C-alpha cells in the first residue's frame, strides 16, 4: 500500500474553505511557510486510503486473537457508548479536586468510589486507588507503597523476590523502586519452588511478587504456604492481577494472603488495551497500607464522599487527577453488566475454553506441564523447531490463516513457548477451527517444514527485522529524491 504522500498529485484537494476574513497583513513573514509538503488528494481517494489502511488492522472485532498473558478480551460495544455520554466525557478533571466544585462531579466520584468497593469485594482487599494508568504502572505504585511501608517501620529491606515465570514488568517495577531482584526457579510442576524460596527468604526481602494463576496458566497450589513464609520474615505479598480473569468471583487474592494487588482492567473487565495509550491498572491494598495510597483519593466516610488531596504518608501523585476515568468507567459498567453471577461465569468459561484447546492439541504439541490449566495453556514447539518450523514460523503461518498468533517465546522458561489464551467469549466453532488449523500445521511440518519460512504471504511486509522495527521507528515522511 502506498503512503498518502505517494498518492499526492499537485493541485488536488478535498476541502473548500471560505475566504479568510482575517487580515494577514501583519503576520510575521518569518513564521509563514509556503514550502509545507502536505499531501494533495481528492476526498474519495482520501477516504479510500484510510479505510483501506484500517482494513489492514487485526483486532478482536475482526478475528480470533488468542494472545496468551495479554488477554485480548472482547470489549462490549455498550461500554463504549455509555462511557461516551457527555455528562461524563465533558467533565473537567479540576472539578474533582476543587472543594467548591465537587458537587458538580459527584456522579463521577461516586462511580470511582463504587468501583473501588467492587474491586475490593472481588479481590479481597480493603481499599483501592484507580489512579495508575496501566498494569505495569500499578506494579510500580504497589511496590512504592510497599517501600514506603517498610521505611515507615524503619526497616531497611533491599530485595524483591519474583518467580522465573514472572512477566518482565515485575522485575522491572521492583528495580525501578530501587530493589535488587531475586529470581526463584519453577519446579517440575511449573510452580515456584518452595525449597528454593526458603533459601532466599530473610529480613532483607521487602516483597514476594506473584502472578496466580502464573504465566504458565497454572494455579500456584502452595500459594498460602508461600504467603505465610513471606509474612513470617516481615515481607509483603504482591499480587500481579493481570490474570485475574481466570479466578474472578472464585478465589480472592486477599484471602490467599496477598497484601497489595493491581488489576489489569483491560485483561479482566473488558476495557480496550492501551497500546501505550489510555489504560488503567487500579491497585488494592489491605487496611494497614491505606495511608500509603496515592493522592488524590476518593473514599466514603459515613455515607458521604470525601476527596483526600494531601496526606503525610501517601506516596504522592502517580498520575494526574484520578488516572483515566473513562477507562475505569468502562470497567465499572462491565462489572455491573455481568453482575455477581456473570463475573463468575466469565471466569469459568475462560478456563473451560483454555482447557478445551489444551486437551485437543496435546496429542499434537508438546505440553511441558501436563495438568489442568486455568485461562491459558503453554505448549513447547521445540520438536517442530528441530525439523525447521519454530514457534515464530508457526505464528507467521497463523497470520495467513486469519488468526492472530498466540504469544510466543514467553514465559521464558519454556523452550519455543506457544501460549494460547482463548478468553471466555469465543464459540466452540471458532476454537475448533483454530485447533484444526494448528493440526494442519503440525502435519505440514511432517511433510515439508521448509515452507514455513515463507509465511506470511498475505501481508504487506512478510518478515520485518522486529528489533529494528521497534527501535528505529520512522514516523516522519521524507521524500526519497532519486
Ligand atoms: C500484561 C501483563 C502485565 C503488564 O500490564 P500492562 O497493562 O501491559 O502494563 C504484567 N503482568 C502480567 C502477567 C501481564 O500479563
Residues across the chain: 482
Question: What pLDDT shows up at residue 25?
Answer: 84
Please identify, by atom number, the ligand 1 atom nearest to the C-alpha of residue 71.
Answer: 15
Closest residue by Cα to residue 479 from 68, 1, 3? 3
Alpha carbon distance 167, 176 (integer Å): 15
Give 481's pLDDT tier (boundaries 50, 70, 90). Answer: low
Cell of 225: 504456604
Give 333's pLDDT tier (boundaries 50, 70, 90). Answer: very high
Contact 368, 417 (CB under 8 A): no
How much is the average pLDDT of 371-375? Answer: 96
For the Cβ of 245 lying below 6 angstroms from any atom of ligand 1, the answer is no
For the Cβ of 242 lying below 6 angstroms from any atom of ligand 1, the answer is yes
Give 475's pLDDT tier (boundaries 50, 70, 90). Answer: confident
Residue 350 Cα distances to 75, 216, 275, 356, 376, angstroms: 15, 15, 23, 10, 8
* Residue having the nearest C-alpha atom to atom 6 of ligand 1: 135
H-type helices in 264-324, by residue range?
265-268
* Residue having the nearest C-alpha atom to atom 8 of ligand 1: 135
Please identify, by atom number, the ligand 1 atom nearest to the C-alpha of residue 169.
Answer: 10
For the Cβ of 134 lying below 6 angstroms from any atom of ligand 1, the answer is yes
Q: H or E stretch including 434?
A: helix 428-448
Dist. CA 208 → ligand 1 center (Å): 17
Rounded to the nearest integer, the mean pLDDT of the chain is: 94
Dist. CA 169 → ligand 1 center (Å): 7
Dist. CA 464 → ligand 1 center (Å): 25
Dist. CA 440 → ligand 1 center (Å): 32
Alpha carbon distance 395, 413 (integer Å): 19
44-85 residue pLDDT tens:
999 999 999 988 888 899 999 999 999 999 999 999 999 899
Closest residue by Cα to residue 335 from 20, 108, 76? 76
Please identify, by atom number, the ligand 1 atom nearest to the C-alpha of residue 273.
Answer: 7
385-438 residue pLDDT tens:
999 999 999 999 999 999 999 999 999 999 999 999 999 999 999 999 999 999
182-241 residue pLDDT tens:
999 999 999 999 999 999 999 999 999 999 999 999 999 999 999 999 999 999 999 999
Give 360's pLDDT tier (boundaries 50, 70, 90). Answer: very high
Say whether pTM exceeds 0.85: yes
Dist. CA 445 → ligand 1 center (Å): 33
Dist. CA 448 → ligand 1 center (Å): 37
Under DSSP, is residue 247 helix (H, G, I), strand (E, B) or coil? Answer: coil
Q: Is 184 exposed, middle or buried (0-12, 13-18, 19+ CB in 10 A)?
A: buried
How much is the average pLDDT of 108-114? Answer: 96
Pick from 66, 67, 69 the residue to mutate for probing ligand 1's pocket: most ligand atoms within 8 Å of its CB: 69
Dist. CA 59 → ligand 1 center (Å): 19
Question: What pLDDT shows up at residue 398?
Answer: 98
Q: Considering only the top CATH level, what class is 77-337? A: alpha beta
Question: What pLDDT shows up at residue 482?
Answer: 63
Alpha carbon distance 454, 464 (integer Å): 13
Q: Is 363 exposed, middle or buried (0-12, 13-18, 19+ CB in 10 A)?
A: exposed
For the Cβ of 264 lying below 6 angstroms from any atom of ligand 1, the answer is yes
Amino acid at each position: 500500500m502506498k503512503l498518502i504522500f505517494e498518492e499526492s498529485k499537485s493541485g488536488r484537494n478535498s476541502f473548500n474553505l471560505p475566504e479568510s476574513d482575517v487580515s494577514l497583513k501583519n503576520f510575521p513573514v518569518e513564521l509563514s511557510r509556503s514550502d509545507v509538503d502536505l499531501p494533495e488528494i481528492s476526498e474519495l481517494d482520501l477516504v479510500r486510503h484510510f479505510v483501506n489502511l484500517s482494513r489492514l488492522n487485526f483486532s478482536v472485532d475482526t478475528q480470533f486473537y488468542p494472545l496468551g498473558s495479554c488477554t485480548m478480551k472482547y470489549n462490549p460495544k455498550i461500554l463504549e457508548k455509555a462511557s461516551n455520554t457527555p455528562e461524563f466525557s465533558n467533565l473537567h478533571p479540576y472539578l474533582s479536586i476543587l472543594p467548591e466544585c465537587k458537587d458538580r462531579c459527584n456522579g463521577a466520584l461516586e462511580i470511582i468510589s463504587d468501583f473501588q468497593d467492587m474491586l475490593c469485594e472481588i479481590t479481597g482487599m480493603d481499599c483501592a486507588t484507580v489512579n495508575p494508568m496501566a498494569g505495569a504502572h500499578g506494579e510500580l505504585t504497589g511496590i512504592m507503597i510497599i517501600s514506603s511501608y517498610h521505611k515507615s517501620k524503619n526497616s531497611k529491606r533491599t530485595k524483591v523476590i519474583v518467580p522465573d515465570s514472572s512477566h518482565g514488568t515485575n522485575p522491572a517495577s521492583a528495580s525501578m523502586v530501587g530493589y535488587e531482584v531475586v529470581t526463584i526457579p519453577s519446579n517440575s510442576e511449573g510452580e515456584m519452588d518452595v525449597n528454593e524460596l526458603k533459601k532466599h527468604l530473610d529480613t532483607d526481602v521487602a516483597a514476594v511478587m506473584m502472578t496466580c494463576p502464573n504465566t504458565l496458566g497454572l494455579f500456584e497450589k502452595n500459594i498460602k504456604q508461600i504467603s505465610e513464609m513471606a509474612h513470617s520474615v516481615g515481607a509483603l505479598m504482591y499480587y500481579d492481577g493481570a490474570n485475574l480473569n481466570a479466578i474472578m468471583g472464585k478465589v480472592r487474592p486477599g484471602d490467599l494472603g496477598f497484601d497489595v494487588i493491581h488489576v489489569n482492567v483491560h485483561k479482566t473487565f473488558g476495557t480496550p488495551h492501551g497500546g501505550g495509550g489510555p489504560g488503567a491498572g487500579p491497585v488494592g491494598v489491605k487496611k494497614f497500607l491505606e495511608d500509603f495510597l496515592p493522592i488524590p483519593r476518593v473514599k466514603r466516610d459515613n455515607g458521604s464522599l470525601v476527596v483526600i488531596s494531601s496526606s503525610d504518608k501517601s506516596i504522592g501523585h502517580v498520575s494526574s487527577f484520578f488516572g483515566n476515568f473513562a477507562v475505569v468507567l468502562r470497567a465499572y459498567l462491565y462489572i455491573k453488566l455481568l453482575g455477581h453471577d456473570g463475573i463468575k461465569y466469565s471466569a469459568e468459561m475462560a478456563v473451560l475454553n483454555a482447557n478445551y484447546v489444551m486437551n485437543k492439541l496435546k496429542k499434537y504439541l508438546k505440553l511441558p506441564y501436563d495438568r489442568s490449566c486455568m485461562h491459558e495453556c503453554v505448549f513447547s514447539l521445540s520438536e517442530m523447531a528441530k525439523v525447521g518450523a519454530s514457534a515464530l514460523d508457526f505464528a507467521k503461518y497463523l497470520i495467513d490463516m486469519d488468526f492472530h498468533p498466540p504469544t510466543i517465546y514467553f514465559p521464558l522458561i519454556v523452550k519455543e513457548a506457544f501460549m494460547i489464551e482463548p478468553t471466555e467469549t469465543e464459540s466452540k466453532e471458532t476454537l475448533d477451527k483454530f485447533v484444526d488449523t494448528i493440526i494442519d500445521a503440525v502435519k505440514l511440518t511432517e511433510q515439508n517444514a521448509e515452507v514455513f519460512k515463507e509465511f506470511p504471504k498475505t501481508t504487506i511486509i512478510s518478515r520485518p527485522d522486529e528489533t529494528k522495527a521497534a527501535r528505529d521507528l520512522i514516523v516522519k515522511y521524507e521524500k526519497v529524491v532519486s
